[in-house]
Chains A and B, each alone.
Chain A
Amino acid sequence: MKEIRPPQFALRFLRMFCPAELHESIEGDLVEQFEEDIVSRGLNYARFKFLLNTINFFRPGIILRNKFKADINHTYMIGNYFKVATRNILKRKLFSFINAFGLSIGISFCILIFLFIKDERSFDQFHANKKNIYRIESLIYESRWKSDQVSPYTRSAWLQLGLRDALKDELPEIQYATRFNEGSTAILRYRNKVFSEKIAYTDGDFFKMFSFKLLSGNREKLFENKLEVVITPAIALKYFGSEDPLGKVISIDNQGAKLYTVAGVMEAPPANSSFDFKILVPQENRPYYERSMKQWGSFNTPCFVQLLEKTDTANFRANLDKVVQKYMGKMLERWRKEEAIQLPIDGKLLELIFTPLSDVHLLKSVNWHKVSDPQYSYILGGIALLILVIACINYISLALTTSTTRRKEVGVRKVAGAGRNQLIYQFGFESLFLAFISMLFGVLLVLLFLPSFNQFTGKEIAIQTKEWFELLGIGLALTFFVGLFAGSYPSAFLARYQPALVLKGQFTSRLQAGFTKPLVVLQFFLSASLIVCSVIMYRQMKFIATKDLGYSKDQTLVIPTQTGWNEEANKTVERFRIRAQKESGIVSVSGTSSSFNQGYSRYGYKIKDEQKSAYVYAVDPNYLSTLGIHLSQGRNFDATIFSDTTAIIVNEALVKDMKWDDPLSEHLNWREDTVGIGAKVIGVVKDYHFLSLESAIEPMFLSIDKKNVGYLTTLLVKVEAGKVPVSLEKVRGVWKELFPDRPFDYTFLDEDVAKQYESYQHWMSITGLATGFAILISCMGLFGLAGINAVNRTKEIGIRKVLGAELPSIFILLNKQYVGLSLIAFVLAVPISWVIMGKWLESFKFSILMSWDLFAISILLGLIIALATVSYHALKTALVNPAETLKYE
């Protein structure tokens, strides 16, 4: 009869947790019962019962017995382990240093990333009412501009100005509602202090909904009077000094000055707030407020609501729909007909949806000036983990290769009665000990790195006192992880030595590289991938910085006219130009409606039933010459030709878009004028990158038509090369002379342009830094390995030299395996980094090609670094006089 056996996996499970000394008898009892059960109750029942019984043994009374016994054994020994560990660390200072250095950097990176992720998640969590606060968003079906959209729906936080009142009137579940939009610039005047400041428009409910600390003023009554302003302490100090700001009257000028009374001082929002403000002004004071309130077609403010406790959100969504129908129904219907929009079934042209306040920060599909991509956290976490793994590999491979020196110790310990488990504990303890030391250094490194880390990531993380415990906790958790991860294999490996063999001296002292080789390959693979990524990123950023954009961005000052959207702006440009002609350092002066990277306007128009769109800039006749933009056909604007006021200059992309053969004979009816034929095209400029290199060159035209296109709100002043500081002072002098009541703000055009790529720059720095550390740590590991290898082969080298081997051949002998290993690593790294960097480059419309030479450079770079690392030992060993090494034999 075939023997019936109990379920084997249950037995394996038992073996896993059951203490060794109890295992046999327990298993025996289980099997016995199993056998009895088969006879009395049948096989199935017996199986089931066996399983149940086994699982029953998985209880504290059994499991804890494991540790209990072990602890008893080890408490005696811990003193000894500690002593031996310290001695070993001190005895091999270089290896200890390599290990501790790598591990502390790995640990500190992990802690930094932890802080980063914690900060990301802490956004807006400090509001007491956060559970009930939602941001209302619009979901609009876009049929107009399809060029670069994935989904036909556009989700946006920008809503109509009148929506807030409509919501409050219609929906009883809304307790509070406030509009909030920051980013307008206004000129503040108080006595002789005149500055331009960013102001935010909001409503009185803002103060009741959000938990920003009000330092003075009455929270309930704020903004009941519409000419009140709330400021932060910094602004109070700037304008009023030590005087009490409450009740002070200050002039705020955003397209028309008004006098406001300071009604409250509010603490500045913390860095982890989605709201950013210094000066809060009632919404009612926005320019064109009354007019915008009636316009349901323009979206110009975000809106937040606080719902009553226990509001059913599904119901709320349906109610929002009713509001849309009531207030915008007719308009939407008209839109749909006019544009002949084919809505999908169940699709809505405009829908209102909402997002809880605490999700706003990481919801990157909706644009918000502080929104963040949760992907960053993953990427950073991945990089930290990579470095930690590389450091752990150092530990493992060094521990394995030096294990030969400790085999006698293992032998003696075993002879003296140490069990295998005990030795595993001992070596585990050692790795934990080293990891703990590294953790302490790692925490110190965190303090050291934090300022530059903040700079790289654009954060303002500070470690509060109460967070230290948390950090220490994380540090300890990492210590255990590293200690166990890095220590487990070497300790199991060491504990395996057979005492009799070891003490008899059967082992050779040669490098036991079997398992270390794949580890080195893995390590180099990780470093190599980082090298390739860095090289490609660096090339792309260099490409961007040096690419010819089609216009000259150097030595050009960008100065806002500080006049608002009116005729005054154009006069400012004109007056400045006339006055500046007398100054020697100023080359040319021009004006535009928006400078590069400072916004744009885009118009949609229908021509022959085809929906088109173009970017539009208001300029003056000096625009082309100031920026060095070349005309490919036609002529520049001429101030003396009257008809030029309605003429336009288009770019080549627009010509292509319109499929014009002779653009100079064409008219562009961009205002959809039913009577006329549109604006005459008088010139074509060569394509230049008026947008960032992330996007293609879109159709665009320039116009000097102030009434229909816009005013020159920005001055572009080109100054002489090489004399920038002097010329800057001249420009400032002219400004102060002409417009003493307006603040003089300026930026450099090239810096504005570079700012578009700031986040890429950050990521390049972070990857660069990580690459640097990864290479450093893996090279240190390699250095250690090469050292051991060289020492192990000293005698062999001696014999070879005696037999006539030349220096180069010995050098090659010692190095070839490392070259081989790093080549394998690179071969593995190339496809992976190819895929990753391909994705990265996709975010640019204009990018470098990933050609073989980039990879060749990276491989060469990596090989040189690896060779340089191992050569020290190779040379040292190769140069030793063979007599030295062989004389003791």
Chain B
Amino acid sequence: MQKEYLGEFEELVLTMVGILQDDAYGNAIVNEIKERIGRDVNLSAVHVTLYRLEDKGYVKSGMGGATKARGGRRKRIFTVTNAGLAMLRVKKEQQIQLWKLVPQLKIVGG
């Protein structure tokens, strides 16, 4: 596999897109991150990251339907692509493997 690099924040956002499914747009992701892991993130940072992920091919986007809420403006809905899903999976595997290498006993001792 080619050396694709996924940053920590990119991974977080990508995961959130996966979680939110059909409702994955900028604002929702900000709220979701706040709710799930209590981290305040900036809307613009999320947007920039989303576009970067799109450039890398991990997500794709399309315009959703208009709602009355946002002054009639449409949402840009992001969905995880197969490549994105694969990337997430690889990340998970890597982490689990690395985790396994950490001597667990020492921690239990506390």
Residues 29-72 (chain B) with a chain A CB within 8 angstroms:
30, 42-45, 47-48, 51-52, 63, 69-71
Partner of A24, one of B30, B48, B63: B63
Interface digits, A465-476 against B, CB 8 Å rule (1 contact, 0 not)?
000000000000
Answer yes or no: A328 CB below 8 A from chain B CBs. no
Answer yes or no: A77 CB below 8 A from chain B CBs. no
Q: Is the CB of B73 within 8 A of A28?
A: yes
Partner of A33, one of B27, B75, B76: B27
* Complex-state Cα separation, A26 to B63, whole angstroms: 12
* Complex-state Cα separation, A62 to B51, whole angstroms: 9
Rounded to whole Å, the gap between the CB of A409 and the closest CB of chain B is 32
Answer yes or no: A25 CB below 8 A from chain B CBs. yes
Partner of A56, one of B44, B52, B74: B44
Answer yes or no: A369 CB below 8 A from chain B CBs. no
Given the known interface contacts A32-B27, A61-B52, the answer about A26 and B70 at a Cβ–Cβ threshold of 8 Å is no
Q: Is the CB of B48 within 8 A of A31?
A: no
Rounded to whole Å, the gap between the CB of B65 and the closest CB of chain A is 12
Q: Is the CB of A30 within 8 A of B43?
A: yes
Of listed B26, B51, B63, B70, residue having the most chain A CB within 10 A: B70
- Which residues in B have their C-beta under 8 angstroms from that of A889? none
Tell me the count of chain A residues lying within 8 A, CB to CB, of chain B. 19
* Complex-state Cα separation, A61 to B43, whole angstroms: 13
Answer yes or no: A741 CB below 8 A from chain B CBs. no
Q: Is the CB of B27 within 8 A of A35?
A: no
Partner of B69, one of A30, A32, A57: A32
* Complex-state Cα separation, A764 to B17, whole angstroms: 73
Q: Is the CB of B43 within 8 A of A56?
A: yes
- Which residues in A have their C-beta under 8 angstroms from that of B42? 53, 56
- Which residues in A have their C-beta under 8 angstroms from that of B75? 25, 28-29
Q: Is the CB of A22 within 8 A of B25?
A: no
- Which residues in B have their C-beta under 8 angstroms from that of A30? 43
Q: Is the CB of B52 within 8 A of A25?
A: no
Closest residue of A by beta carbon distance from B27: A29
Given the known interface contacts A26-B26, A30-B43, A32-B69, the answer about A59 and B48 at a Cβ–Cβ threshold of 8 Å is yes
Answer yes or no: A27 CB below 8 A from chain B CBs. yes
* Complex-state Cα separation, A31 to B43, whole angstroms: 12
Partner of A28, one of B30, B44, B51, B71: B71
Tell me the count of chain B residues lying within 8 A, CB to CB, of chain A. 20
Interface digits, A4-31 against B, CB 8 Å rule (1 contact, 0 not)?
0000000000000000001011111111
Q: Is the CB of A62 within 8 A of B69?
A: no
- Which residues in B have their C-beta under 8 angstroms from that of A35? 69-70
Rounded to whole Å, the gap between the CB of B76 and the closest CB of chain A is 3
* Complex-state Cα separation, A22 to B44, whole angstroms: 12
* Complex-state Cα separation, A885 to B69, whole angstroms: 64
* Complex-state Cα separation, A25 to B45, whole angstroms: 14
Closest residue of A by beta carbon distance from B29: A29
Closest residue of B by beta carbon distance from A6: B71
* Complex-state Cα separation, A57 to B46, whole angstroms: 10
Of listed A25, A61, A65, residue having the most chain B CB within 10 A: A25
* Complex-state Cα separation, A711 to B9, whole angstroms: 94
Given the known interface contacts A31-B70, A32-B70, A53-B43, the answer about A25 and B25 at a Cβ–Cβ threshold of 8 Å is yes
* Complex-state Cα separation, A62 to B27, whole angstroms: 16
Q: Is the CB of B48 within 8 A of A62?
A: yes
- Which residues in B have their C-beta under 8 angstroms from that of A29? 25-27, 43, 47, 70, 75
Partner of B44, one of A24, A27, A57: A57
- Which residues in A have their C-beta under 8 angstroms from that of B70? 28-29, 31-32, 35
Closest residue of A by beta carbon distance from B31: A36
Of listed B73, B74, B76, residue having the most chain A CB within 10 A: B73
Q: Is the CB of B51 within 8 A of A26?
A: no
Closest residue of A by beta carbon distance from B49: A61
Q: Is the CB of B43 within 8 A of A25?
A: no
Residues 48-101 (chain A) with a chain B CB within 8 angstroms:
53, 56-57, 59, 61-62, 65
Closest residue of B by beta carbon distance from A5: B71
Rounded to whole Å, the gap between the CB of A538 and the closest CB of chain B is 63
Q: Is the CB of A25 within 8 A of B48?
A: no
Q: Is the CB of A26 within 8 A of B69?
A: no
* Complex-state Cα separation, A65 to B52, whole angstroms: 10
Closest residue of B by beta carbon distance from A65: B51
Rounded to whole Å, the gap between the CB of A22 and the closest CB of chain B is 7
Closest residue of A by beta carbon distance from B42: A56
Rounded to whole Å, the gap between the CB of B10 and the closest CB of chain A is 12
Given contacts A25-B26, A29-B70, could you give 7 more A-B pairs where the C-beta distance is less than 8 Å? Answer: A24-B63, A24-B76, A25-B73, A32-B27, A32-B69, A33-B27, A62-B48
Binding site for A on B (CB under 8 A): 25-27, 30, 42-45, 47-48, 51-52, 63, 69-71, 73-76
Q: What are 13 sample pairs from A and B whose C-beta atoms fall under 8 A apart?
A: A24-B74, A25-B73, A27-B73, A28-B70, A29-B25, A30-B43, A31-B73, A35-B70, A53-B42, A56-B43, A56-B44, A59-B44, A61-B51
Minimum-distance CB pairs A-B, first 10: A28-B73, A61-B48, A25-B76, A56-B44, A29-B26, A28-B70, A29-B27, A57-B44, A32-B70, A32-B27
